[in-house]
């Protein structure tokens, strides 16, 4: 086991240790691994629990902290880290409901990481014992099934070198820089960081303008927001995920509210799944097209059946579109959503329609679309969110977990004990030999329960990317010796920035003017 820590952290802790007054008060020397573990936990959570945003606070339960670090010490550890400016707290908690949230301060959130080996063997054993005990408590209701899922999860491995090669190629492709030579994950991280920081990736051709700083700030801000699709933060996140799975760090938990299974696999970056192997075989997956709308279609069938009501025409239409996997395409086409905005619009649909607190004053575009195209469906949505807007989303997730874990997975294992599967919410991963069996049980389970079958998409991760390998000549050609090439969108923005600063008056055509 290793701790993943910000690379710029050691000096701060070392100074604190060397200060006799601080060290006596904070007990740094004798409990250093506990301090490291808090920082490690928050650092890892930032890259594996991103659903609330990269800068969100993460809950640390006092009962768990007390058990791991000792009732006498855990508050001292947290307060010390806050006092040293390493972590910060949201200071918000609700008794028996919400624990205080913590995160690393900005100085340590965004820096490179390093791996540190713990020295306190007793503390490490305590962490391992706690993990096993915690998992046993959560899976006791369906122990055999969850134990089998965990066993299959432990059969996952990663092609570390190929995954690392892919990550380096991705970031070098994006920045058009020469690929460095590396010998380890940490080495690759450091060299990529140096390349990004030290090479002139922005605006080399206008460095000598009198108002260089103002222009550079404006255009760099634009480029950072709009064009950094594969930035260093994502690169670092990829590396952390690769090392976690390479070390066999299996994090298997069950959400108490929804019964959803969460593991390192459910949060593993989709682009890196092509390098995962299940018992040394490439992954193949089956998932439901338009899965959340389809799941709600199943709820609609039960909703009207329980009330002995006939299905209105728009409800029938909605169910058929979800069954055929054409719901999103139809809805976006009817609402005139352009192709360039469809991915973003679709991504927000679940949040704005099923999970959002409805307000007559501010109706989201996705809500309006449902109201326009499927008025009776939208009425049921509002009715199910009447008491608590979170209820519907949780019920959807609960039904999804019930179907995929307790029904489909159980049926697959019962049919063939030799099948290995991985669940990822509304998808099941397996190997080529067993994908047809998985699809069969998904279709059969929905048919038996709701008398409706979804559209299944199958896919595999056998195609490996061809990493770019820029030569030195290509690198020098795009840095310093020649002007950078810009897209029309960039030129428009730069043109506007230069005009606002009073440097030019005419329209830009091909390149940034160079004053003599």
Distance CA 75, CA 248 (A): 31
Distance CA 516, CA 167 (A): 42
CB-CB neighbours of 496 under 10 Å: 13
Residue with tokens 């028996």, as numbered in its chain: 96
Q: Which of 196, 260, 183, 263 is nearest to 234 (CA)?
A: 196
Q: What is the CA radius of gyration of the chain?
A: 26
Distance CA 199, CA 211 (A): 21
Q: What mean pLDDT, rounded, does the chain reach?
A: 78
Per-residue pLDDT tens over the stretch 374-425: 999 999 999 998 888 888 888 899 999 999 999 999 999 999 989 999 999 8
Instruction: For residue 181, give both structure tokens.
Output: 């030579």
Phi and psi for 446 in degrees, rounded to 5? -70, -35
Helical spans, DSSP H, in 19-115: 20-26, 32-48, 62-69, 74-83, 106-109
Distance CA 495, CA 510 (A): 11
Q: Which residues contact 334 (CB under 8 A, 6 or more apart)?
A: 369, 372, 373
pLDDT at position 253 is 81
Q: Side by side, which strands form the sheet with 284-288?
A: 422-423, 427-430, 284-288, 456-460
Phi and psi for 39 in degrees, rounded to 5? -65, -45
Distance CA 384, CA 392 (A): 6
Name the DSSP class of 511: S
Instruction: For residue 85, give both structure tokens.
Output: 């400016």
Using DSSP's 3-state secondary structure scheme, residue 429 falls into strand
Q: Angle CA(89)–CA(90)–CA(92) in degrees, nearest 5? A: 125
Predicted TM-score of the model (pTM): 0.70
Distance CA 317, CA 222 (A): 43
Q: Which residues contact 79 (CB under 8 A, 6 or more apart)?
A: none
Instruction: For residue 505, give both structure tokens.
Output: 């008056």
Distance CA 411, CA 399 (A): 16
Cβ-contact 315, 376 below 8 angstroms: yes
Q: Which CATH architecture group holds 3-119?
A: Orthogonal Bundle (1.10)
Read off the pLDDT of each residue in 252-256 and give the average, rounded to a whole number: 79
Q: Which residue has the higher pLDDT, 160 or 362?
A: 160
Q: Which of 378, 396, 188, 207 is nearest to 288 (CA)?
A: 396
Q: Which range is least confidently modeled, 35-49, 226-240, 280-294, 313-327? A: 226-240
Q: Which residue has the higher pLDDT, 46 or 251?
A: 46
Distance CA 209, CA 213 (A): 9
Distance in Å from the first CA to the final CA of the chain: 60
Q: How far is CA 410 from the centre of its chain?
A: 28
pLDDT at position 212 is 47
Rounded to 10°, the helix 327-334/339-349 angle is 120
pLDDT at position 393 is 87
Distance CA 411, CA 240 (A): 35
Q: Which residues contact 235 (CB under 8 A, 6 or more apart)?
A: 167, 170, 171, 189, 192
Read off the pLDDT of each residue in 174-193 and give the average, rounded to a whole number: 77
Per-residue pLDDT tens over the stretch 72-131: 888 888 988 998 899 999 988 777 667 889 999 988 887 888 888 888 889 989 888 887
Q: Angle CA(77)–CA(83)–CA(86) in degrees, nearest 5? A: 80
Per-residue pLDDT tens over the stretch 344-382: 888 888 888 888 777 766 778 888 899 999 999 999 999
Q: How far is CA 415 from the centre of its chain?
A: 33
Distance CA 169, CA 37 (A): 32
Cβ-contact 115, 45 below 8 angstroms: no
Helical spans, DSSP H, in 176-255: 185-198, 212-226, 232-246
Q: Place 71 in a pLDDT band, splitting at 50, 70 and 90.
A: confident
Instruction: For residue 48, give both structure tokens.
Output: 């594996």
Distance CA 475, CA 464 (A): 25
63-66, long-range: CB < 8 A, 24+ apart: 64/130
| In the chain, % of residues over pLDDT 90 | 31
Q: Which residues contact 303 (CB under 8 A, 6 or more apart)?
A: 380, 384
Q: Which of 186, 426, 491, 122 is nearest to 293 (CA)?
A: 426
Using DSSP's 3-state secondary structure scheme, residue 49 falls into coil
Q: Which residue has the higher pLDDT, 82 or 470?
A: 82
Name the DSSP class of 502: T
């Amino acid at each position: 086991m290793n701790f993943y820590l910000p690379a710029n952290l050691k000096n701060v802790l070392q100074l604190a240790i060397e200060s006799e007054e601080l060290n006596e008060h904070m007990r740094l020397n004798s409990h250093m691994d506990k301090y490291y573990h808090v920082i490690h936990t928050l650092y890892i959570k930032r890259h594996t629990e991103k659903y609330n945003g990269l800068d969100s606070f993460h809950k640390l339960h006092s009962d768990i902290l007390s058990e791991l670090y000792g009732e006498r010490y855990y508050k001292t550890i947290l307060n010390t880290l806050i006092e040293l400016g390493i972590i910060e707290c949201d200071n918000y908690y609700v008794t028996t409901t919400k624990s205080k949230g913590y995160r690393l301060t900005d100085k340590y959130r965004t820096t490179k990481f390093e791996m540190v080996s713990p020295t306190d063997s007793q503390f490490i054993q305590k962490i391992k014992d706690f993990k096993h005990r915690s998992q046993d408590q959560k899976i006791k209701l369906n122990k055999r099934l969850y134990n089998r899922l965990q066993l299959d999860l432990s059969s996952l491995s990663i092609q570390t070198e190929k995954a690392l090669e892919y990550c380096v190629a991705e970031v070098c492709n994006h920045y058009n820089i020469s690929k460095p030579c590396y010998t380890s994950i940490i080495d690759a991280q450091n060299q990529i960081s140096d390349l990004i920081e030290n090479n002139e990736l922005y605006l080399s051709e206008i460095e000598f303008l009198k108002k260089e700083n103002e222009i550079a700030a404006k255009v760099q801000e634009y480029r950072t927001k709009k064009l950094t699709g594969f930035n260093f933060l994502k690169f670092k996140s990829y590396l952390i995920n690769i090392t976690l799975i390479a070390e066999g760090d299996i994090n298997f938990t069950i959400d108490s509210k929804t019964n959803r299974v969460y593991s390192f696999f459910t949060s593993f970056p989709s682009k890196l799944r092509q390098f995962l192997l299940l018992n040394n075989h490439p992954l193949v997956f089956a998932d439901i097209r338009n899965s959340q709308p389809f799941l709600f279609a199943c709820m609609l069938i039960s909703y009207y059946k329980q009330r002995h009501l006939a299905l209105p025409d728009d409800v029938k239409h909605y169910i058929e579109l979800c069954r055929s996997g054409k719901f999103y395409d139809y809805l976006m086409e009817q609402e005139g959503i352009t192709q360039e905005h469809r991915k973003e619009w679709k991504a927000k649909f679940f949040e704005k329609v099923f999970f959002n607190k409805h307000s007559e004053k501010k109706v989201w575009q996705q809500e309006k679309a449902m109201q326009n195209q499927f008025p009776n469906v939208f009425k049921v949505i509002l009715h199910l969110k009447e008491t608590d807007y979170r209820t519907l989303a949780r019920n959807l997730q609960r039904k999804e977990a019930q179907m995929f874990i307790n029904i489909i997975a159980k049926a697959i294992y019962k049919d063939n004990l030799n099948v290995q599967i991985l669940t990822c919410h509304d998808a099941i991963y397996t190997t080529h030999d067993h994908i047809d069996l998985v699809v069969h049980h998904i279709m059969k389970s929905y048919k038996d329960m709701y008398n409706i079958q979804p559209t299944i998409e199958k896919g595999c991760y056998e195609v490996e990317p061809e990493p770019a390998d820029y030569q030195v000549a290509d690198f020098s050609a795009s840095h310093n010796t020649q002007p950078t090439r810009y897209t029309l969108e960039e030129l428009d923005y730069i043109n506007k920035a230069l005009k606002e600063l009073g440097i030019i008056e005419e329209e830009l055509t091909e390149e940034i003017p160079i004053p003599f």
